[in-house]
A and B are shown apart, each in its own frame.
Chain A
Amino acid sequence: MLLLTLTLWGYVIGALAGLLCWQREKLANLLSFGSASLAALCGVYASVVFLLGGAASFSIRWDFLESAVPYLKFSVRLDPLSAFFLLIVSSLGLALSIYSFGYARGFYGRTKVGVLGAFYNALLLATTFVFIADNAFFFLVSWELMAMTAYFLVSFEHEQPEARHAGVLYFIMSHIGTGCIILGFLLLFQASGGYGFTGFHALGEKMSAGRRNAAFLLFLAGFGVKAGIVPLHIWLPAAHPVAPSNVSALLSGVIIKSGIYGLTRVYFDFLGTPPLWWGATVLVVGSVSALLGVLYALMDHDLKRLLAYHSIENIGIILMGLGAALMFQHANHPLLGAMALIAGLYHTINHALFKGLLFLGAGAVQHAAHTRNMEELGGLIKRMPRTAFFFLIGAVAISALPPLNGFVSEWLTYQSLLQGFGTTGSLTRLIFPISGALLALTGALAAACFVKAFGITFLAQPRSVQAERAHEASPTMLAGMGLLAVTCIFLGLFPNQFLPLFDPLTDQLLGAQISRQLAAPGGIVLSSLGQEAGTVSTLGITLTAVCLLPIPLALWIFFGRDAVRQTGMTWACGQKTLTPQMQYTATGFSKPLRIIFKALFRPHRAVQAEFEFSPYFARTIRFESHIEETFEARIYRPLQRFILRTSRRMRALQAGSLQAYLIYIFVTLLLLLILTL
């Protein structure tokens, strides 16, 4: 695999170039992001060629470094699952690197562009290694490398206390997760006697039920932290917004997907046929994460934090697909299992693309208006029309509206849930329609949230001077966004052309290839295994719309040829002018939902008004409103207090006297001796 090697070297060169030329900003920018673009391009090509090889494509494995440590082998392997995730990281990496040329210019003179480029390349390199590592030890090394570089990038703008705080929170949570993963791999190691992933294959069958279940839970928690499932998500909305926007896109688009990769790898490759409750647990965790993610997103008015909360939602939707696939695997329905797995993984790549696009859009907005607070934005569709257009495409895609890619993967998820109802006779099957209904609620709330995000940010009048002075993003930034928008449209309109890429993957994990069953004859219709069970065609819908377009146009031309179009003032109840303050705000927009879900949000508001003669004509008004951060307040802060209290008590043991320490050592030795006797 020459191409894969080129990819890896490309990132290495990019990182080195960034470091070496850090004094010459322009050169560092060009070299590090240029190298990353080329490397990512090679990665895209390598993975597509590999996956198009079909089910016959074998896995390629080689050791690229000899190591002196017995268990640590620097071995990489490209199998269909790795290749799929390589495709995700490379395609997003390509668009981000192109975007970064223009974006990094904003840092000239302020911070070290070369350092940013170096860490950016290192992160891409580490993530690529995570996806192709063939050895648990090496996997963990890359995993840590990924976590550390991500930490440095999160706290890249370390002058702001917000970024430092988020970095530390991310660091702690990430390591709790890594701890769980290490324990999980140790359980696997006990059963297999080695750290090679090849030796782990279908290992679950040989493990005792208790250990298998323990491994399941440890990996769920460990990879769940990285993926950001509720309630382990608290670091995500803190860390993703503070990073530079190209990195935010990478974090939300790809890094959290490494959690999904880990779960898929472990559950479908290593742990064997799952018991029913595994799938049910993943499905329930997914549904809850999806719903809570979108509800918190609705309440947030920081454009990038809103997007970060949506990542939690989309991870939930992905997990719904994976959970359903596990349940079908238990019920021995490989075809349905493959469809649910495809639904989850299709959503994984979709989310990488549209979330990347949205973060880049948000980055362009922040770049232009110097704020992420939606209440200070507005009217940007006239000042940055292209960015607005690309953001709109991302918003339609993420709201799962036809005909874009989000709709396709959610359609597959719905279909798997629906058909799952027939796979079992027990009451557990009610879980499918209920999670389907939750998915519907999630989807509708996501649409509401993106009406808010797009409407308040881009439409109407600018709410601040900065927003009024905003300017269009630079050509390379637009090119990066355009590339992602085009891929979103492609994956939305041509799912049948993309689905064959999943064949080797489902064949590897579930022993079924279903792209033929999913593509109904005729080429443009997607069917859910059988044509009778349901069909959809996003391309068909689009073509029909084009065919029907003459109707409204003809009506306008025929009847309205004498009608005049004037531009006038928006009606302001007779007031002379319409000020930006009169518009609906993001807070106002989400208020009905805040009240409806007040049991969850526990909203708090305080209004102070000063008036002279009547409370209806106030001179000054101070309004304050916030919602409770339930998880922080109910789980994490009590936990933190508990840990601090316990450590204070423990401090008495560490009095600093040498004699006391000697006694501890002596007592420990004595105890150990007694135990071994």
Chain B
Amino acid sequence: MKPALIPTLTQTVLVLMLAPLLTGVIKNWKAKLQNRRGPPVWQPYVDLLKFLRKDMVVSEHASWLFSATPCVLFLSVLIVGLMVPMLSEQPPLKWFGGALAVIGLLALGRFFLALAGLDPASAFGGMGSSREMTISAIAEPAMMLSVFTVAITAGSTNLGQIVHTVAGQSTAFLNPSHLLAFAALFIVLLAETGRVPVDNPATHLELTMIHEAMVLEYSGRYLALIEWSASMKQLVLMTLIVNIFFPTGIAADWSAASAGRALLFFVGKLLLLSGAVVLVETTNAKLRLFRVPDLLSAAFILAALALLSTFLFK
């Protein structure tokens, strides 16, 4: 039950290197859609390098927790990245945790980040932490219920097993429960990655910000890790969605040929989903904070309907 070396290394590199690119692509496309030229797609890499090299200022009120959080966050998200089927149905850490561990580890990272938001004694950080924990709390039932729906169909919380089951059914994408669960998880994705209409990743120092408010006091190499983690989290959640609901092209094992083919499919699917995210971000306005629960309860209801329809259409 030990993770194999080559797949683990491949996927670690993939998660680390693909994440900033995805963020760059979404930023670029969003700008294009808004008739701006936009930053080049590799801008996030340059930013990360810049942050890593920069001097940093740490608040006098901050404790060791503030310094430990970037590492905890980075590692927890990276481990989640190794639990998600990316190129192959068999993720490297498949024995170490499935859907529940993924949700748990993401929550661990969020927990520490929220604490770090409170640590420097700034009102902005507290505001961000408070909002982040609130929104994640009301997003959690929808996420869990959608996960339950797919897990019940597959008879397993093991993500590889879920993907395998869905890949085995050629008409899975027509299954209403599948579509409803996809819709619910898509809304949760927007909330969890801090996208419009829940949060605006492009805003700084406005009273509407959530994620950016929490990390406001970070700079230098700490900020690099946090930004990188945010990108990785986005990549991981998007991977989860595309591979669970559209497992087309995913490899059954880790042989070089099938993994290469799977990589092409994987990138294609990610780009499609990013397109969807960009469209939603551009065509919607940010919701008022207290309208967000409505959106998320809609996601919850979609997930509940998804569950009901597994029951009805069997």
Interface, chain A (partner B; CB < 8 A): 379, 381-382, 392, 396, 399-402, 407, 411, 414-415, 418, 421-422, 427, 430, 433-434, 436-441, 443-445, 447-448, 450-452, 454-456, 459-461, 520-522, 524-525, 528, 531-537, 540-541, 544-545, 548-549, 551-552, 555-556, 559-560, 562-572, 578, 580, 582-584, 588-593, 595-596
Which of B65, B93, B224 is close to A459, meaning CB atoms less than 8 Å apart?
Answer: B65
In whole angstroms, what is the CA distance A562 to B220 when docked?
A: 11
* CB-CB nearest in chain A for B293: A596
* CB-CB nearest in chain B for A379: B61
In whole angstroms, what is the CA distance A411 to B100 when docked?
A: 7
In whole angstroms, what is the CA distance A438 to B289 when docked?
A: 22
**B258 within 8 Å of A by Cβ?**
no
* CB-CB nearest in chain A for B135: A592
Which chain A residues border B129 with CB–CB below 8 Å? Answer: 451, 455, 584, 589
| Interface hit among B111-119, B195-203, B233-241 | B111-119
In the complex, are the beta carbons of A451 and B61 less than 8 A apart? no
**B267 within 8 Å of A by Cβ?**
no
In whole angstroms, what is the CA distance A489 to B30 when docked?
A: 45
Which chain B residues border A414 with CB–CB below 8 Å? Answer: 100, 157
A447: shortest Cβ distance to chain B, in Å? Answer: 5
Known: A541-B93, A548-B79, A583-B126; 8 extra A-B contacts, CB below 8 A, are A421-B152, A433-B307, A436-B145, A454-B115, A459-B65, A525-B95, A540-B95, A578-B121
Which of A400, A437, A452 is close to B148, meaning CB atoms less than 8 Å apart?
Answer: A437
* CB-CB nearest in chain B for A533: B156
Which chain B residues border A520 with CB–CB below 8 Å? Answer: 1, 95
In the complex, are the beta carbons of A536 and B221 less than 8 A apart? no
**B136 within 8 Å of A by Cβ?**
yes
In whole angstroms, what is the CA distance A559 to B47 when docked?
A: 13
A429: shortest Cβ distance to chain B, in Å? Answer: 8
C-beta contact mask, B94-129 vs A, less than 8 Å → 1, else 0?
111111110111011011001101111111111101
Given contacts A451-B114, A460-B61, A552-B70, contact A444 B140 (CB under 8 A): yes
Taking CB atoms and an 8 Å cut-off, the chain B residues in 64-78 that contact chain A are 64-65, 70-71, 74-76, 78
In the complex, are the beta carbons of B152 and A451 less than 8 A apart? no
Which chain B residues border A459 with CB–CB below 8 Å? Answer: 63, 65, 115, 118-119, 121
A176: shortest Cβ distance to chain B, in Å? Answer: 34
**B52 within 8 Å of A by Cβ?**
yes
Q: Which of A433, A445, A549, A591 gathers most chain B CB within 10 Å?
A: A433
**B158 within 8 Å of A by Cβ?**
yes
Which chain B residues border A535 with CB–CB below 8 Å? Answer: 94-98, 158
A217: shortest Cβ distance to chain B, in Å? Answer: 30
Given contacts A532-B155, A596-B293, contact A522 B1 (CB under 8 A): yes
Which of A430, A522, A593 is close to B311, meaning CB atoms less than 8 Å apart?
Answer: A430
Taking CB atoms and an 8 Å cut-off, the chain B residues in 139-156 that contact chain A are 139-145, 148-149, 151-152, 155-156
C-beta contact mask, B46-67 vs A, less than 8 Å → 1, else 0?
0001001111111111011100
* CB-CB nearest in chain B for A449: B133
Which chain B residues border A545 with CB–CB below 8 Å? Answer: 75-76, 79
**B244 within 8 Å of A by Cβ?**
no
B279: shortest Cβ distance to chain A, in Å? Answer: 28
B7: shortest Cβ distance to chain A, in Å? Answer: 13
In the complex, are the beta carbons of B122 and A570 less than 8 A apart? yes
Q: What are 21 residue pairs bridging A and B, where the CB atoms are less than 8 Å apart in the complex?
A: A392-B65, A396-B111, A421-B152, A422-B152, A422-B155, A433-B148, A434-B304, A441-B141, A452-B133, A455-B115, A461-B121, A537-B95, A552-B74, A555-B52, A568-B58, A570-B120, A571-B124, A582-B123, A584-B127, A588-B127, A592-B131
In the complex, are the beta carbons of A591 and B115 less than 8 A apart? no
Which of B57, B120, B141, B156 is close to A460, meaning CB atoms less than 8 Å apart?
Answer: B120
* CB-CB nearest in chain B for A566: B57
Which chain B residues border A591 with CB–CB below 8 Å? Answer: 130
**B217 within 8 Å of A by Cβ?**
yes
In whole angstroms, what is the CA distance A540 to B59 when docked?
A: 35
In the complex, are the beta carbons of A455 and B118 less than 8 A apart? yes
C-beta contact mask, B274-314 vs A, less than 8 Å → 1, else 0?
00000000000000011001000000100110011001000
B3: shortest Cβ distance to chain A, in Å? Answer: 8
In whole angstroms, what is the CA distance A418 to B142 when docked?
A: 15
Given contacts A532-B156, A570-B61, A596-B293, contact A407 B118 (CB under 8 A): no
Which chain A residues border B87 with CB–CB below 8 Å? Answer: none
In the complex, are the beta carbons of A571 and B217 less than 8 A apart? yes
Which of A436, A531, A534, A584 is close to B130, meaning CB atoms less than 8 Å apart?
Answer: A584
In whole angstroms, what is the CA distance A549 to B75 when docked?
A: 7
In whole angstroms, what is the CA distance A359 to B97 when docked?
A: 31
Which chain B residues border A560 with CB–CB below 8 Å? Answer: 52-53, 220-221
Which chain A residues border B126 with CB–CB below 8 Å? Answer: 455, 583-584, 588-589
Tally of B interface residues using CB under 8 Å: 95
**B33 within 8 Å of A by Cβ?**
no
* CB-CB nearest in chain B for A553: B71
A380: shortest Cβ distance to chain B, in Å? Answer: 10
**B12 within 8 Å of A by Cβ?**
yes
In the complex, are the beta carbons of A415 and B157 less than 8 A apart? yes
* CB-CB nearest in chain B for A594: B134
Which chain B residues border A564 with CB–CB below 8 Å? Answer: 55-56
B122: shortest Cβ distance to chain A, in Å? Answer: 5
Which of A401, A444, A572 is close to B137, meaning CB atoms less than 8 Å apart?
Answer: A444
Given contacts A451-B133, A456-B118, A593-B134, contact A565 B61 (CB under 8 A): no
* CB-CB nearest in chain A for B217: A570
**B209 within 8 Å of A by Cβ?**
no
B219: shortest Cβ distance to chain A, in Å? Answer: 9
In whole angstroms, what is the CA distance A454 to B221 when docked?
A: 26
In the complex, are the beta carbons of A402 and B137 less than 8 A apart? no
Taking CB atoms and an 8 Å cut-off, the chain B residues in 197-238 that contact chain A are 216-217, 220-221, 224-225
* CB-CB nearest in chain B for A532: B156
In the complex, are the beta carbons of B53 and A559 less than 8 A apart? yes
In whole angstroms, what is the CA distance A567 to B61 when docked?
A: 9
In the complex, are the beta carbons of B224 and A401 less than 8 A apart? no
Which chain A residues border B225 with CB–CB below 8 Å? Answer: 552, 555
Taking CB atoms and an 8 Å cut-off, the chain B residues in 18-65 that contact chain A are 49, 52-61, 63-65
Q: Which of A456, A521, A569 gathers most chain B CB within 10 Å?
A: A569
In whole angstroms, what is the CA distance A669 to B137 when docked?
A: 64
A343: shortest Cβ distance to chain B, in Å? Answer: 13
* CB-CB nearest in chain B for A545: B75
In the complex, are the beta carbons of A433 and B119 less than 8 A apart? no
**B243 within 8 Å of A by Cβ?**
no
In the complex, are the beta carbons of B95 and A566 less than 8 A apart? no
In whole angstroms, what is the CA distance A567 to B120 when docked?
A: 11
* CB-CB nearest in chain B for A556: B221
In the complex, are the beta carbons of B118 and A451 less than 8 A apart? yes
In the complex, are the beta carbons of A540 and B93 less than 8 A apart? yes
A397: shortest Cβ distance to chain B, in Å? Answer: 12
Which of B53, B59, B107 is close to A401, meaning CB atoms less than 8 Å apart?
Answer: B107
* CB-CB nearest in chain A for B108: A401
B168: shortest Cβ distance to chain A, in Å? Answer: 14
Q: Which of B52, B119, B139, B151 gathers most chain A CB within 10 Å?
A: B151
In the complex, are the beta carbons of A382 and B63 less than 8 A apart? yes
Which chain A residues border B251 with CB–CB below 8 Å? Answer: none
In the complex, are the beta carbons of B138 and A596 less than 8 A apart? yes
In the complex, are the beta carbons of B104 and A448 less than 8 A apart? no
In the complex, are the beta carbons of A551 and B78 less than 8 A apart? yes
Q: Which of B12, B60, B111, B129 gathers most chain A CB within 10 Å?
A: B111
Given contacts A401-B108, A536-B96, contact A381 B63 (CB under 8 A): yes
In whole angstroms, what is the CA distance A433 to B153 when docked?
A: 13
In the complex, are the beta carbons of A447 and B110 less than 8 A apart? yes
A162: shortest Cβ distance to chain B, in Å? Answer: 29
A156: shortest Cβ distance to chain B, in Å? Answer: 34
Which of A399, A440, A562 is close to B143, meaning CB atoms less than 8 Å apart?
Answer: A440
In the complex, are the beta carbons of A559 and B221 less than 8 A apart? yes
**B259 within 8 Å of A by Cβ?**
no
In the complex, are the beta carbons of A418 and B151 less than 8 A apart? yes
In the complex, are the beta carbons of A549 and B71 less than 8 A apart? yes
In whole angstroms, what is the CA distance A527 to B106 when docked?
A: 21
